[in-house]
């Protein structure tokens, strides 16, 4: 099933409004004209807002790339795909040529048959010699018992007896060597047969072929990446804004919050890793459908305060180390000294001072 993320990034105005379950733009600065005493004066309302210390990085939704290759080395017999082709799970992308393996098997089988004949002949000769020696020894023994054996026959019998020493062990050695030779042959055939049983390259993913390095006759090594597929069912965010240093996993975890804004929707993200080009990559959490290639703005929150009294930063004046605002009371501007806290650039937190939520604050023009 294809997952797509329909996303375009919210502007900084929306981002600074926080990231709740239903993302909404922060309340705009409410303004009005003060009549009649302060005609033309623009005011803003002190309100409780979320204040964040944030930085931003741009990125795009990109597909997960799968690199595929053959299990074994060999020569490509057929290649069924080209760059740009759409493939489905379990499609056969390529097959290695079996002819060389089959020819090798035939050659080795012939060699093994000849080897078996050699061992069979050697054993037959050995057994025939054993019978002759046994018959010679028995015949001379009978003559010795009858007193008719000559000295020469007795010497022949002695030599035959020496040849019969450990005769059984010698025969067992021939049989053992023969069995070992057959075992080696079977192992070689099994090894050669591997390409025949694992010579097919099958994809386990739905997607598009974005790279194909094989054609008929190409030589490949086991495990070598020869085809790359862009998975249409899996996507992630690739940050490519060089204005910030790439983020490691440890650095990512130091942020109070990290969110991705796409089409005004706020999405949670997690650290995926750093790709070969050095780009930081983020996983997108949840089941939101993804649209590969969509622009994303990622918000990195280093600190935040929720629902704090704040005013637009442009309404805050300073005199030395003292900050102050002008509060409108009955159309009259009154200076109020304040202590400021966190600011996100657009809004500034008021931690102390005679300002309450709903107070009208003078906006300089």
Measured distance CA(176)–CA(119) in Å, rounded: 11
Measured distance CA(9)–CA(20) in Å, rounded: 16
Measured distance CA(211)–CA(91) in Å, rounded: 16
pLDDT band at 195 (very low <50, low <70, confident <90, very high): low
Q: Please say whether the beta carbons of 50 and 18 come within 8 A.
A: yes
Pairing of strands 200-202, 207-212: unpaired
Q: DSSP character for 33?
A: B
The SS3 call for residue 345 is coil
Residue 36 pLDDT > 60: no
One-character DSSP codes across 274-296: E-TTS-EEEEEPSS--B-TT-EE
Measured distance CA(331)–CA(333) in Å, rounded: 7
pLDDT of residue 274: 81
Estimate the crossing angle of helix 99-146 against helix 151-163, to 10 degrees: 140
Tokens 């379950």 -> residue: 21
How much is the average pLDDT of 240-264? 75
Architecture of domain 70-97+200-224: Beta Barrel (2.40)
Residue 7 pLDDT > 60: no
Residue 27 pLDDT > 70: no
Report cis status (omega within 30 of 0) of the bond before 36. yes
Residue 309 pLDDT > 80: yes
| Distances 325 to 109, 203, 355, 358, 363 between C-alpha atoms, Å | 97, 66, 9, 14, 9
252 vs 315, which has greater pLDDT?
A: 315
How much is the average pLDDT of 16-21? 36
Q: DSSP character for 255?
A: S
The predicted-structure confidence for 323-346, as pLDDT tens digits, reads as follows: 999 999 988 999 999 999 999 889
Estimate the crossing angle of helix 167-197 against helix 99-146, to 10 degrees: 170
Q: Cα 115–118–121 angle (5° rounding)?
A: 150
Residue 301 pLDDT > 50: yes
pLDDT of residue 255: 83
Closest CA to 93 of 232, 251, 225, 258: 225
What is the pTM assigned to this prediction?
A: 0.48
Q: Where exactly are the structural domains of the chain?
A: 12-61+232-363, 70-97+200-224, 100-197
Measured distance CA(215)–CA(128) in Å, rounded: 59
Q: What is the number of alpha carbons within 13 Å of residue 172 lying toward its C-beta?
A: 4
End-to-end CA, the chain: 55
pLDDT of residue 214: 95
Class of domain 12-61+232-363: mainly beta
How much is the average pLDDT of 222-233? 91
The predicted-structure confidence for 92-145, as pLDDT tens digits, reads as follows: 999 988 776 777 788 888 999 999 999 999 999 999 999 999 999 999 999 999
Cβ partners under 8 Å of residue 121, min gap 6: none
From the number of C-beta atoms within 10 Å of its C-beta (0-12, 13-18, 19+), residue 252 rates as middle
The SS3 call for residue 18 is coil
Cβ partners under 8 Å of residue 349, min gap 6: 51, 305, 308, 309, 310, 340, 341, 342, 343
The predicted-structure confidence for 42-66, as pLDDT tens digits, reads as follows: 899 999 999 988 888 889 999 999 9
């Amino acid at each position: 099933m294809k997952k797509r993320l329909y996303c375009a990034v919210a502007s900084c105005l929306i981002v600074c409004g926080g990231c709740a379950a239903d993302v909404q733009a922060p309340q705009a600065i409410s303004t009005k004209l003060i009549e009649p005493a302060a005609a033309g004066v623009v005011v803003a309302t002190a309100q409780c807002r979320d204040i964040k210390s944030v930085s931003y990085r741009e990125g795009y939704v990109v597909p997960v790339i799968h690199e595929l290759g053959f299990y074994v080395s060999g020569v490509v017999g057929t290649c069924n795909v080209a760059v740009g082709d759409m493939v489905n799970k379990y499609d056969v992308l390529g097959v290695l040529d079996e002819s060389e393996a089959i020819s090798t098997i035939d050659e080795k089988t012939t060699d093994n048959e000849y080897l078996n004949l050699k061992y069979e002949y050697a054993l037959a000769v050995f057994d025939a010699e054993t019978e002759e020696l046994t018959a010679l020894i028995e015949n001379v023994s009978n003559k010795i018992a009858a007193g008719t054996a000559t000295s020469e026959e007795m010497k022949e019998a002695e030599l035959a007896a020496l040849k019969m020493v450990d005769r059984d062990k010698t025969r067992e050695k021939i049989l053992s060597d023969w069995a070992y030779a057959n075992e080696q042959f079977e192992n070689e055939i099994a090894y050669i047969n591997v390409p025949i049983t694992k010579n097919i390259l099958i994809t386990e993913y739905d997607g598009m072929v974005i790279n194909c390095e094989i054609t008929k006759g190409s030589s490949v090594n086991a495990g070598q990446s020869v085809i790359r597929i862009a998975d249409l069912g899996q996507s992630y965010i690739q940050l490519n804004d060089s204005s910030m240093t790439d983020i490691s996993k440890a650095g990512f975890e130091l942020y109070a919050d990290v969110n991705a804004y796409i089409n005004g929707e706020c999405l949670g993200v997690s650290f995926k890793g750093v790709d070969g080009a050095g780009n930081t990559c983020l996983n997108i959490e949840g089941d939101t459908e993804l649209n590969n290639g969509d622009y994303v703005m990622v918000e990195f929150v280093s600190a935040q305060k929720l629902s704090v009294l704040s005013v637009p930063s442009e309404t805050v004046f300073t005199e030395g180390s003292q900050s102050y605002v002008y509060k409108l009371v009955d159309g009259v501007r009154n200076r109020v000294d304040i202590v400021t806290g966190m600011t996100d650039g657009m809004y500034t937190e008021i931690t102390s001072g005679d300002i309450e939520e709903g107070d009208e604050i003078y906006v300089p023009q």
